[in-house]
Structure 1
Amino acid sequence: MQTNHPLLSVVVPMYDEEEVLPIFFERMHPLLDGLGINYELLVVDDGSRDATAALLTAAAAEWPQLRMVRLLRNSGHQAALSAGFRLARGEYLVTIDADLQDPPEVIAELLATARDSDVDVVYGVRSDRSSDSWGKRTTARMYYRLMCRLVGRDLPFDAGDFRLVSRRVVDTVNGLPDDGRVFRLVIPWLGFPSAEVKYVRAERAAGTTKYTLSKMFRLAFDSVTAFSAAPLRLATWLGLFGGLVCFAVVIGALVVKLSGQSVPGWTSTVLAVGLIGALQLLCLGLLGEYVARLFQASQKRPQFMIGYDTLEDPGHHSYAQAVEGQEPDQR
C-alpha cells in the first residue's frame, strides 16, 4: 500500500457482490492505472455474507492501490459511503457503485472537469436511463421532483451517488453529524461550486440489485425527514382539514335535524370518527418519526463500525483464509 497520500480516492461500497467482482476488477484496474496519477481504490465491504471480502483481500495482495475496509455488520449504503469519506486520503474523491451501471470510464472526465473548471463537486448525471425498469425510472423521477421542492433547485436531477468531490468537500462533510446522512442531498445543500458530466446508465454487469423497493422507500423517507419539516406541517394541515370536515358534518347534521328529516343511524358517525381517527394516527406517526430520529441522535451510536482495514493490517492472506473458512451466516 502506498505510504503517501494519493491524488484520487475511488470509494466503492459493496454488499454481496462476489458475482460482479471479476468484471469490476477487469475494468477498474487498467482504467485507474491508465490515469497516470497516484490513486487508491477504497472498497467498503458493508458486512457481506458471501465471498466478497475474501475476493477483495486476495486481490489487494496483488494490487497495491486496492484498499479494503470491512464493516463489522451491514450498516447500509449511505453508512458505507460515510466510512469511505472518513477513511479516504485523496485530494479528490469519487464515489461509484460496484454494479458498473455507472461506467468507471467516466471517472477520468470527472477529474478533468474538476481540475479544468476549478470546481469542488462534479456530478455524474444520467442522460439515458433506458436500462432501468419503468418502475425504477418512475419512482426516481418522483423522488427527484419531491426533493427539488423540499431541498431546493440546486439538487441536480437524475444525479445519484456517482460524483467527484474535492478534499474541501470531504472535510466539510466529515464535520457534519452522521445521523441520517443522505449524500445526494447533503452535498448539493453545502453549495460548493459544481459542474455536471452526463453519461448513459448501463445495465448491471452481474448479480442482482441489493437496493430493493423497500430500501428505496426508506431512502426517500429518510431524505424527507432529514432535510425538511414539511411532514410536520403536513400533519398540521391535515388536522385543520379534518376539523373543517367535521365542522361541515356537524352543520349538515344540524340542518337535517332542524328540517325534521333526520333518520337515526350510524353511517355518518362511523365516517366522521373514522376520518378523525385516521388523521390523528397519521399525524402521530409523522411526529413519531421525528421523535425517533431525535432518540437515535441522543444515543450517539456510531453509524458504522470498522472491523478490518488492509491499510492498517497488511496480512491479506491470513485474513482471506479466515473469511473463506467461515460459514456465510458468520461473516
Structure 2
Amino acid sequence: MPLPTLLSVVLPVRDCQHRIIDEVERVLDALAEMLDEPTELMVVDDGSRDATPDVLAELQRRHSRLRVTRHARPRGMEAAGQTGLEKSTGEVVFIQETDAPLRLDDLRRLYEMSRDESVVAARAQSISKQPSGPLMRRLRAWGGQPQTQPSLRPHPGLQMVRRPHLQQLATPAGQTLPLQAERVTLQQQR
C-alpha cells in the first residue's frame, strides 16, 4: 500500500486515450509547482472501451506519483469519484466531478482554502464569462451564429474534502451533504 500523502487529486476518466497523456502531465506539473510535500494523482478509469487502460499503464510506469484504478464496466463519473476517494491516500482529497479537463485555477484556489484546517470540505465551480459585444459582432459578421441570449455556463466542479472529516459530512440517514459551489467569473482571454 502506498504511503499516505498530504494531497490527492482524483480524476475520473472514460474513453480518453487521445487526451489523457496531456491531462495527467499537466496536473502532475501543477502539483509539483504548488507543493513540495508528497502528492498523488489518482486516475479512475470508468470502464473505458478504447486504449485508455494501456495509455494509463504506460503513464504509471513513467510517473511515480500516478496511481490508476479501473472499473470493469462503466459505472458513472460519480461512482468513479467515490472509488478514487476510497483508494486515494491523501489527507486532503480533490475530486474532479467529470472527465472534463481539470481547471488548474480551481485546483490552486481550493488548495489555498485547504491550508486553513477549519475548512473540511469545499467546492469550486468556475463560470466562463461570455465574449464581449465587439467579439460577438465580429463573429456574426464572419457568418457565425453565436447565441442571441448568451448564458453563463459553469465548468465542471472540483470538490475538496479533508479525509479525517468524511464521517462528519454524512447526514444521520447516511446521505452525503451537498457542498455549496463557490462561483467565480473568469476574465475573458484576449
Name the TM tier (shorter chain): 0.7 to 0.9
Task: Determine the structure 1 residue equivalent to 2:94.
Answer: 94
Given residue 188 of structure 1, which amino acid in structure 2 is its aligned partner?
P
Aligned: 1:103 with 2:93: no
| 1:46–1:74 contact (8 Å) kept in structure 2 | yes
Given residue 163 of structure 1, which amino acid in structure 2 is its aligned partner?
Q
Task: Determine the structure 2 residue equivalent to 1:19.
Answer: 18
Task: Determine the structure 2 residue equivalent to 1:31.
Answer: 30
Count of residues in Structure 1 that have an aligned counterpart in Structure 2: 170
SS in 1 for 2:9: strand
Q: Distance in 2 between matches of 1:75 and 1:195?
A: 25
The 5 A counterparts of 1:207-246 are none
SS in 1 for 2:5: coil
| 2:46–2:71 contact (8 Å) kept in structure 1 | yes
| 1:125–1:198 contact (8 Å) kept in structure 2 | yes
Structure 1 runs not aligned, ≥5 long: 142-157, 203-331
Aligned: 1:188 with 2:184: no
SS in 1 for 2:125: strand
Q: Distance in 2 between matches of 1:98 and 1:66?
A: 17
| 2:100–2:156 contact (8 Å) kept in structure 1 | no
Structure ranking higher in helix proportion? 1
Given residue 123 of structure 1, which amino acid in structure 2 is its aligned partner?
R
| 2:47–2:74 contact (8 Å) kept in structure 1 | yes
Percent identity, aligned pairs only, is 26
- Measured at CA, do residues 113 and 173 of structure 1 come closer, stay the same or move farther in structure 2, by a change above 3 Å? closer
| 1:109–1:197 contact (8 Å) kept in structure 2 | no
Q: Distance in 1 between matches of 2:173 and 2:93?
A: 20
Deviation, structure 1 residue 173:
5.8
Q: Distance in 1 between matches of 2:177 and 2:71?
A: 24
Deviation, structure 1 residue 78:
1.1
SS in 2 for 1:17: coil
1:198 paired residue among 161, 184, 188: 184
Q: Distance in 2 between matches of 1:117 and 1:174?
A: 19
What is the TM-score when the length of structure 1 is the normalising length?
0.44
Q: Distance in 2 between matches of 1:64 and 1:171?
A: 30
Q: Distance in 2 between matches of 1:160 and 1:175?
A: 25
| 2:106–2:125 contact (8 Å) kept in structure 1 | no
Q: Distance in 2 between matches of 1:64 and 1:176?
A: 39
When structure 1 is superposed on structure 2, of 159-168 and 75-84 the one drifting more is 159-168
- Measured at CA, do residues 125 and 82 of structure 1 come closer, stay the same or move farther in structure 2, by a change above 3 Å? same
What is the TM-score when the length of structure 2 is the normalising length?
0.73
Deviation, structure 1 residue 77:
1.2
Structure ranking higher in strand proportion? 2
- Report Cα offsets for 1:224-247 as digits up to 9, x if no partner: xxxxxxxxxxxxxxxxxxxxxxxx
Deviation, structure 1 residue 199:
5.9
| 1:123–1:159 contact (8 Å) kept in structure 2 | no
SS in 2 for 1:48: coil
- Measured at CA, do residues 106 and 29 of structure 1 come closer, stay the same or move farther in structure 2, by a change above 3 Å? same
